[in-house]
Amino acid sequence: MAFQILLLRLSIILFSISGVYSVNFIIKNNCRIPIWPGALTGAGNPISTTGFKLLPGSTTTTTVDASSTPWSGRFWARTLCSAANGKFTCATADCGSGQIACNGAGATPPATLVEFTIAANRGQDFFDISLVDGFNLPVSITPIGGSSGCKSVACGRSVNPVCPPEMAVKSPRGLVIACKSACMAFNKPEYCCSGDHNLPETCPPTNYSRIFKRQCPQAYSYAYDDKTSTFTCTGGANYAITFCP
């Protein structure tokens, strides 16, 4: 891992000389089970891969080009995946593509999301961990490089053990494998910050969102949880994303 980080730092120098600015996302599976990370580009150039398998302890790097235009996108980890009759599916965070690659499809909630807006040419990046679409796995983000404001953030504690029964997603064996958001579970404006509750003033935290926030204070627990959940890094960093940190 240390050698890989050294190579990435050297790549920043080479890209600077060539005029190309690429950002590397180093994705590691620190869980005790295999995961299948997925990726979705929201704006900018496409990412180098949109889905792959990671065995426990394994690491893969995926790259985006942000030389001239910003890039935005998200990552998540699918769990308990299998293929049957030529179709690939996952018990949590499935992207519905029927393949390991998500091919432009996002995660089906509940899913822990890692979200980025990468500035063009080494400007100020924004990133966060979002539980607005529920929770399935702990995760952390660590900037590598950068010059200002770059700090690691984490959702290191699992929400699943404290998930209310009415929001829990269970395996066939009865184990809680994911936790729905209150919006997904109940579809009410006060939980979804919609309708008459579509402003920060009219959509405060709820008892349900506080469950997520207690487990993961640095993560978004509901739509208007910006003050404690949005982070920045300036100066051209790469980012390590670790599931089950």
DSSP symbols for 42-73: EESSPPS-SB--B-TT-EEEEEEE-SSS-EEE
Report the pLDDT value the prediction gives residue 121, as an integer from 0 to 100: 85
**In angstroms, rounded to a whole number, what is the distance separating the alpha carbons of residues 117 and 124?**
9
Q: How confident is the model at residue 13 (pLDDT cuts 50, 70, 90)?
A: very low
pLDDT above 50 for 185: yes
Provide mean pLDDT across the span 173-193.
97
Spans of all domains in the chain: 2-243
pLDDT at 147 over 70: yes
Strand partners, 41: 73
Instruction: Give tens-digit pLDDT for 131-140.
Output: 999 999 999 9
Q: Which of 153, 162, 140, 154 is nearest to 209 (CA)?
A: 162
Q: Does the structural domain 2-243 have CATH classification 2.60.110.10?
A: yes
Give the contacts of 18 (CB within 8 A, at least 6 positions apart): none
Q: What is the pLDDT of residue 20?
A: 82
Q: What is the mean pLDDT of the chain?
A: 93
DSSP of 173-195: TS-EEEE--HHHHH--HHHHT-G
Rg, the chain, Cα only: 18
Cα maximum dimension of the chain: 55
Predicted local distance difference test score (pLDDT) of residue 1: 52
For residue 19, what pLDDT is reported? 64
As a whole number, mean pLDDT of residues 61-68 equals 94
Model confidence pLDDT, tens digit, residues 188-236: 999 999 999 999 999 999 999 999 999 999 999 999 999 899 999 999 9
Residue 18 has pLDDT above 50, yes or no: no
Q: Residue 11 pLDDT > 90, yes or no? A: no
